[in-house]
Structure 1
């Protein structure tokens, strides 16, 4: 029996409703899958970016920490250098004050005369030459000659050898020298510098560790005391 037009239209509508329902379900399935894939990809991208951001800031933090350490090290070194500079300046001032006081020694004739005798005799012993020349300040010639006369006797008695000594009358020590003498061998190639300034410099070198310890205390970085 043939279907009427109404039945055909009804079946067509039924088929269209079924197709539309299938299409909607398929679309919903596609949307759900797309949403799921979107969320997965979004999560992956967010996690990737989070890791990158964390790595970036960790790197920045390490750089900042390293920079702080370098700055602290530089500041510490600068501070140490300033302390060392201040200490060196204090030592220089101390030595300058000592040099200024050297002139007082020659102002005391008895003390200066005894000092000259010791300085000249030491020059004799260091050279051990039969002929020596003594150079002094022009104003000290008389006092130096008196010291030489005494020292010759002591030298001959100790060394059991003669010595001829002359004072250089052509070249005197500079006027700014505080005192003392220079003793030369006969040809002038060997010199014993026994001016007050040279003796002070020698004593300063020898006693510098003790001076620094007295002024600034023991050196904490020094491991050996010998």
Structure 2
């Protein structure tokens, strides 16, 4: 039985509706899959970027922390250097004041001759030479001559040898020296400096740890005391 044109048209419409429905369903399935893949990719990208941002800021935080440590260390070193400089300045001022007071010792007629006796006799024993040359300030020459005469017998009595002493008046000590003497052997290659200034320097060097301890207290970072 042959189909009529109406039936044919009806079947065609039915087939077209079926094809369109399948196409729509397929399109929806593709859209859904694309949306899912988009969301997955978007989540992956977001997570990747989030990790990169976290890594970046962690790195920055470490750099800032390191810079803070360096800056703090520099500030502490600067403060320590300032403290050390202030302490050195205080000690320098103290030594300067001590040198100024030395000048008053040489002007004291009751103290200076006795001090000169000690410096000369000590120089004799340090050199232990049969011939000694002494240099002193020009104004101290008479005092030194008298002290030599007093101390040669004492030296001879102890050492049991003769001693010849001369004063080098052609090369007197500078007037900037607070006082005292320099002693030389006959060849002039051995020197004993017994000026008041040199004795002060020697005493300051030997007593510096005690002076620092008295002024600033014990150093907590010092492990050895010798």
TM-score, normalised to structure 1's length?
0.98
Matched residue of 1:218: which SS? coil
Equivalent in the alignment of 1:97: 97
Equivalent in the alignment of 1:211: 211
Matched residue of 1:110: which SS? coil
Deviation at 1:109, TM superposition (A): 1.1
TM alignment of 1:165-176, pairs within 5 A = 165-176=165-176
Equivalent in the alignment of 1:108: 108
Residue 7 in structure 1 maps to residue 7 in structure 2:
yes
**Structure 2 unaligned runs (5+)?**
none
Deviation at 1:188, TM superposition (A): 1.3
Residue 191 in structure 1 maps to residue 179 in structure 2:
no
Separation in 1, partners of 2:220, 2:134: 46
Q: Structure 1 stretches (4+) deviating beyond 2 angstroms?
A: none
Deviation at 1:14, TM superposition (A): 0.5
Separation in 2, partners of 1:110, 1:145: 17
CA RMSD of aligned residues (A): 0.7
Residue 149 in structure 1 maps to residue 149 in structure 2:
yes
Separation in 2, partners of 1:106, 1:34: 107
Equivalent in the alignment of 2:75: 75
**Structure 1 unaligned runs (5+)?**
none
Separation in 2, partners of 1:168, 1:47: 94
Matched residue of 2:79: which SS? helix
Equivalent in the alignment of 1:131: 131
Deviation at 1:45, TM superposition (A): 0.4
Separation in 2, partners of 1:9, 1:122: 144
Equivalent in the alignment of 2:201: 201
Deviation at 1:36, TM superposition (A): 0.4
TM-score, normalised to structure 2's length?
0.98
Separation in 2, partners of 1:173, 1:65: 61
TM alignment of 1:50-69, pairs within 5 A = 50-69=50-69
Deviation at 1:161, TM superposition (A): 1.1
Separation in 1, partners of 2:184, 2:57: 75
Separation in 1, partners of 2:213, 2:47: 63
- Aligned length, in residue pairs: 226
Deviation at 1:146, TM superposition (A): 1.1
